[in-house]
Amino acid sequence: MRGSRILLFLLVTLFAARSGVAQAASVALMPRMVIAGSPELIRVSGPANALVDGEWLGRKISFSADHGTWVALAGVDVEAPVGPSTLHITAHAGGKDIDLSRNVEIHEAHYRTGALTVSPKFVEPPPEALIEIEEESKIKAKVYAASATEPLWRGSFHAPVASRPTDSFGTRRMFNGKLASIHKGADFHAPAGTVVHASNSGVVVLARKLYFEGNCVIIDHGMGLFTLSMHFSRIDVHEGQRVKAGDRLGLSGATGRVTGPHLHWAVRWEGAMLDPVKLLRLDLDTVR
């Protein structure tokens, strides 16, 4: 599950610094193979005192300093178009803009198709529920728009429960034979009452009951990165609370749109829904 399996993709370019001395700048992506739904650690080595910013598929990338390089934990949405993309990166140094942009191929992920049956109120919510759902989406939008401007995570992410996740991320789902949607998280087997832990450090920005998510906890890990845990039977944290990896968030359950008790765990970066299992496999212990 660690970095031994992950190859470092290193592209090196040379550019002339203002002084006229050639310096190396590099952009490395981990994992190297970019798939629709991949989280990606982007590391930029550039000239000293540079500032780095970027954009990929319409999403702004914010970098933070790490051991003399710049890093960003970003990714490609599960529904991103397969094919070539441009990862725009610019280093600003000595009054100059240095273009470090790269072409990155986005490979197809082979997600499955599944069908399941839930209570009809979750497929065609009654009118009074639509108001509730609308209110909740406003609350979530507000939360997502206010991510910390510095990374709050430290090192690798840890599984929220001890059990193995199911291979459920990205599955095209039919609910009650009607509504098709894409499953944008990973489901973990968790009998009701299983303790759910924080996967990394951050701030609890939402801890309340929502219509589809049931009892839901959202943690802001900074710079647009959030983890979401759903369907709790009990929430043990409050909004505004700082947590670190391993802290108890609550107990798993079967609240919201479910077929039975489990933990739905999701990863969101700048609106892109990323494969949580791939995030757990990223070795970030040498970062930050």
- Contacting Zn ion within 184-213 (CB under 5 A): 187
| Position of minimal CB gap to Zn ion | 264
Q: Which stretch binds Zn ion (CB under 5 A): 54-62, 126-134, 238-246, 262-270?
A: 262-270
Least distance CB 61 / Zn ion (angstroms): 28
Least distance CB 183 / Zn ion (angstroms): 6
- Candidates 257, 264, 268, 278; binder of Zn ion (CB under 5 A) is 264
Least distance CB 82 / Zn ion (angstroms): 24
Least distance CB 168 / Zn ion (angstroms): 6
Least distance CB 223 / Zn ion (angstroms): 25
231 binds Zn ion, rule: CB under 5 A? no
Contact status, residue 273 vs residue 78, Cβ threshold 8 Å: yes
Nearer Cβ to Zn ion (43/231): 231
Nearer Cβ to Zn ion (223/279): 279
Nearer Cβ to Zn ion (151/170): 170
Least distance CB 236 / Zn ion (angstroms): 21
By CB under 5 A, the count of residues binding Zn ion is 2
Nearer Cβ to Zn ion (187/220): 187
Nearer Cβ to Zn ion (263/272): 263
Nearer Cβ to Zn ion (264/268): 264
DSSP string across the chain? --GGGPPPEEEEEEEE-TTS-EEEEEEEEESSS-BTT-EEEEEEE-STT-EEEEEETTEEEE-EEETTEEEEEEE--TTPPSEEEEEEEEEEETTEEEE--EEEEEBPP---EEEE---GGGTS--HHHHHHHHHHHHHHHHHHTT--SS----SS---SSSSPBPS-TT-EEEETTTEEEE--SEEE---TT-EEE-SSSEEEEEEEEETTTEEEEEEEEETTEEEEEEEESEE---TT-EE-TT-EEEE-B--SS-SSSBEEEEEEETTEEE-HHHHHHS--TT--
Least distance CB 169 / Zn ion (angstroms): 9
Contact status, residue 168 vs residue 188, Cβ threshold 8 Å: no
Binding site for Zn ion (CB under 5 A): 187, 264
